[in-house]
Amino acid sequence: MVQTKTITEFETHLFHEGTYFESYRKFGAHLSNEKGTVGTRFTVWAPNAKKIEIVGSFNDWHGEQYAMNKITTSGIWSLFIPEVTEGELYKYKIYPEGGGEPLLKADPYAFYSEKRPKSASIVYSLEGYNWGDREWQRKKRRENILKKPVSIYEVHLGSWKKTEDGDFLSYRELAHDLVDYVKEMGYTHIELLPVVEHPFDRSWGYQATGYFSVTSRYGTPKDFMYFVDRCHQEGIGVILDWNPCHFCRDGHGLRLFDGAPVFEYQDPHRAENTEWDTNNFDLGKPEVISFLVSNAFFWFDLFHIDGLRVDAVSSILYMDYGKEDGEEWLPNKYGGRENLEGLNFLRTLNEAVFERFPNVMMVAEESTSWPLVSKPTYSGGLGFNFKWNMGWMNDMLEYMKKDPIHRKHHHQNITFSFLYAFSENFVLPLSHDEVVHSKRSLLNKMPGDYWQKFANLRVLLGYQMGHPGKKLLFMGGELGQFDEWKDLEQLDWNLLQFEFHWKMRQYCRQLNQLYTTEPALYEQDHTSKGFEWIDPHDHSQSIISFIRWGYNFQDHLIIVCNFTPQVYHGYRIGVPKDVSYKEIFNSDAEEYGGSGILNSDELQPHEVEWHHRPYSIELNIPPLATFILKPLAAREEN
């Protein structure tokens, strides 16, 4: 049993300063031993409360004898209750200073919560889990993630797979079923849609009530620790989607926490997020900064998470985000649209995280052209180390939707991204957002007949793997689902009984295996030294060819993509060296459902200048396909 959890004067000062980044160690409900008595200490910040009582299962929800002490004039309340132990339910009964009916609120720092639709917080100790991921943590400290392969499988835990009677799989079941599957498929990371407590299933966790409470839908916090632990033991990193932008309006949550705006802005124009029907966090309030940065620390510190993908960063950066033309919004003090408080929060967040946890991933989902998102704050950046490449994703999906006969008129869609590919440390996402709300599944976005749909998806995924940047694919994409994501049902696993869907999954598995074993595909993702065009200009035939370079000059791959169903023989490209090449991957292989147009023999270079190079080779170009060539040993001189 831990000793007293009473907040100190210095910690209180840091909290109100906006620099108490481990506030979860004192706020909330903590089992403790105070003067020899075992019980639970409760601490909460409610600056506009007149009185707060703790009600729960231990006092039949009557709190008259359990009034909290206001220990600071700034609104921190605390109370130690003897003999309250793990598993007890509780809420704060808050009497607003301005009068009105008392409010029953869940604990903003609760570590565990009742399963929806119930909403009480639960006293729970996060201590005592015996982690088995020491080797993973050592490996993570040694390696630079920018120079390592990152192939992310994005997952919504509630709909990846269900039990036979339609219930959710538990964290412990997922720790075996999902982790084994991801390892078999060759992914390096799992990214989870938010697992914080949230009342409405169909918000997918993006509208939360319990930021420090892993959702009880799938089990306990220690069950989730087991899930993360097993991921690490199997060599798989874990990234959480995280939303510090806005929170839901449910009555037991953060909104008007003590009868007045506490976590949201005082000004309703800034507090109300009409796009998502939520409230925006007040990012100019130091206590909110302490709360949010502490939450990031919490997942890295106590749950060993390897990265956070920060949702909707653009909504933090702009004062007019989500506002319709003519809708009122407030400019910053200089008259601009930049949210200066949001900028300060993001930089504070990233500086604090990387000082304490230097080897994690902080990934921005930022949908505009804001500069230097993934650059250090000392050079004017936001301080993330990765950014989703939304431009690449939008351009490529628009391109792939078009009939191949028209693609020659939109060739810039597949080449434009290389003009800015190294301006940020990019992740190339094909995410859940692109397969919901009647956008159709990846496979069903593809034009053509049955065969062509699969071939189009294969060439897209092959091109994604060859393009500089880390990779992300939402679950179900590897199965070739015809239906878009059904968030209340499991994936269409029955599709695997059909040949083309089974072969699509095999294709994704072997594509991942190739990616993780070829350094040229990842070592120099974020520098122009890792990429070189052979020919970006063949728009009339919708073919591109380029080189990916590893650190070793001998280590390079040639990647060719044909975005039409036309087959070509004797297609010539320039090559960088006088060496033979071997085709090591071809999305048109019959084992993947292709037509089998391969380059099966060694490709000998000719002293024929082509593409401004002294040597060239002739290729078979398969239909709607990506293929990859690797150099063999240098030819001997005669």
Residue-wise pLDDT tens digits, 492-537: 999 999 999 999 999 999 999 999 999 999 999 999 999 999 999 9
Q: What is the pLDDT of residue 431?
A: 98
Instruction: Name residues whose C-beta falls within 8 Å of residue 348's C-beta, 6 or more positions apart in sequence.
Output: 18, 289, 293
Query: Which residues on neighbouring strands pair with residue 615, listed in sequence order?
Result: 575
The one catalytic residue among 229, 258, 311, 424:
311
pTM (2 decimals)? 0.96
Strands 189-192 and 237-242: parallel
| 553 secondary structure, DSSP code | T
Task: List residues bridging with 557 in a β-sheet.
Answer: 548
Shared domain for 200 and 66, answered yes or no, is no
Beta strands 579-586 and 189-192: pairing type?
unpaired
**Residue 198 domain flag:** yes
Check which CATH number belongs to the domain holding 554 and give it.
2.60.40.1180
Both ends of the chain: CA-CA distance in Å? Answer: 79
Is 406 exposed, middle or buried (CB count within 10 Å of its CB: 0-12, 13-18, 19+)?
exposed
Sign of the CA dihedral 223, 225, 230, 235? Answer: positive
pLDDT of residue 2: 57
Collapsed DSSP state (helix, strand, coil) of residue 304: coil
Nearest to 274 by CA among 314, 246, 302: 246
Same domain, 499 and 577: no
Mark whether 407 and 503 lie in a shared domain. Answer: yes
Structure tokens at 396: 């490529």
Q: How many domains does the chain have?
A: 3
| Distance (Å, whole) CA 336 – CA 324 | 17
Element (H, E) at 154: strand 151-155
The encoded tokens of residue 173 equal: 């079941």
Q: What is the pLDDT of residue 3?
A: 63
Tell me the Cα Rg of the chain.
Answer: 27
Which residues does residue 474 pair with via DSSP β-bridges, in sequence order? 154
Whether 132 maps to a domain, the answer reads no
Q: Are residues 560 and 418 in the same domain?
A: no
Q: How far is CA 63 from the centre of its chain?
A: 41
Give CA separation, 234 vs 122, 136, 226, 304, in Å. Answer: 31, 9, 12, 14
Domain that holds residue 602: 528-634
Q: Residue 393: which CATH number?
A: 3.20.20.80
Tell me which long-range contacts 293-296 makes (C-beta under 8 A, separation of at least 24). Answer: 293/21, 293/348, 293/349, 293/352, 293/353, 294/20, 294/21, 294/22, 294/23, 294/24, 295/24, 295/211, 295/212, 295/242, 295/244, 296/242, 296/244, 296/349, 296/352, 296/353
Residue 140 lies in a domain: no
Identify whether residues 512 and 548 lie together within a single domain. no
SS3 of residue 424 by DSSP: coil
Same domain for 172 and 259, yes or no, is yes
Tokens of 582: 């071997």
> Looking at the domain assignment, is residue 569 inside a domain?
yes
Q: Is the same domain home to 495 and 572?
A: no
Edge to edge, the sheet with strand 272-273 lists: 246-247, 278-280, 272-273
- Predicted confidence at residue 331, as pLDDT, reads 92
Supply φ then ψ for residue 383, to 5 degrees. Answer: 95, 0
β partners of residue 318: 338
Last residue of a domain, one of 521, 543, 562: 521
Is residue 404 in some structural domain? Answer: yes
Task: Return d(Cα 533, Cα 575) in angstroms, integer.
Answer: 10
Total Cβ atoms within 10 A of residue 270: 20
Is 127 inside a domain boundary? no
CB 72 within 8 A of CB 32: no
With a cut of 70, list the residues of the chain below it in pLDDT.
Answer: 1-4, 633-638
Contact between residue 512 and residue 477 where contact means Cβ atoms under 8 Å apart? no
223 is a catalytic site residue: no
Distance CA 571, CA 592 (A): 23
User: Which residue shows structure tokens 């690449």?
Assistant: 392
**Nearest 10 degrees: CA dihedral of 631, 632, 633, 635?**
-80
473 and 554 in a common domain: no
Domain final residue, candidates 521, 545, 578: 521
The verdict on 502 and 546 lying in the same domain is no
Same domain, 210 and 255: yes
Q: Please check whether residues 69 and 52 belong to one and the same domain.
A: yes
User: What is the CATH classification number for the domain harbouring 13?
Assistant: 2.60.40.10
* Whether 516 and 533 share a structural domain: no
Q: Is the distance from CB of 531 to CB of 556 less than 8 angstroms?
A: no
Please say if 311 is a catalytic residue: yes
Residues 6+ apart with CB under 8 A from 556: 520, 547, 548, 549, 550, 576, 631
Mapped to the 3 state alphabet, what secondary structure does 76-130 carry?
Answer: EEEEEEECCCCCCEEEEEEEECCCCCCEEECCCCCCCECCCCCCCEECCCCCCCC
Give me the pLDDT at residue 4, please.
67
